[in-house]
Amino acid sequence: MECFVCNKEAERFEPDGDYEDVSCAECGRYRIAGTVIRMWEKARWIHTVAMQQWIEEQRRSGAEVPMIKSEVVVWEGLRSGS
């Protein structure tokens, strides 16, 4: 699968809720809420640098697996063809 943040190859873990559990060599392990995924599927781009920084800040603050929710996601724009 592709990482939602950086679009590079990533591994998916089986979730136990309305989110995806992702591990990426570039971004590390994170979770992304179903609401954000549905917005992403509608041709939105996640701002890679901003979200990688946010994920790292969350880890430094003690979050083992940060969760990207709609209130924290930073969008870069729309993908072409949308």
Confidence of residue 79 (pLDDT cuts 50, 70, 90): low
Residue 28's DSSP bridge partners are: 24
Residue 68: CB atoms within 10 A of its CB come to 25
Mean pLDDT of 9-36: 96
Predicted confidence band of residue 82 (pLDDT cuts 50, 70, 90): very low
> pTM score, two decimals?
0.89
Q: Which residues of 30-61 are buried (b: 16+ CB within 10 A; e: fewer)?
A: bbbbeebeeebeeebebebeebbebbeebeee
